[in-house]
Amino acid sequence: MTITVYGIKSCSTMKKAFTKLDELGVSYDFHDYKKQGIDKQSVQRWVDALGIDKVFNKRGTTWRKLTDEQKQAADADVESVIDLLIENTSMIKRPIIEGIYKDKPILLCGFDEAVFNKIFD
């Protein structure tokens, strides 16, 4: 059972996810993409599986600080969004949980306690 939790350590949503996984006894590796970065293949895989709207966070301050040109490019082209997410990992919704759990592939984006309880029972 290899689960990797991707995100940013200081994020409040991440803290909820860590607490819940610990309560459920789920072992995991943590990948802090603020410190470790993220590769294009991973982001592309998440976007292909979950959709850009699920992975791309337009609610945060990082999005609001972008130039109008950057925002227009992101809205026009998924490839541009992926490059933007790699450069600005704060715009990737958190957490991303990926791996194999009880012989089943897992790919989740965001924290939903009910979903965690169901998947990691």
Catalytic positions, written as ranges: 11
Tokens of 115: 């979903």
To the nearest 10°, report the CA torsion of 55, 58, 63, 68.
Answer: 110
Q: What is the spatial distance between Cα 64 and Cα 61, in angstroms, rounded to a whole number?
A: 5
Pairing relation of β-strands 29-32 and 104-109?
Answer: unpaired
Burial environment of residue 21 by CB neighbours within 10 A (0 to 12, 13 to 18, 19 or more): buried
Task: Give the span between the Cα atoms of 14 and 11, in whole angstroms.
Answer: 5
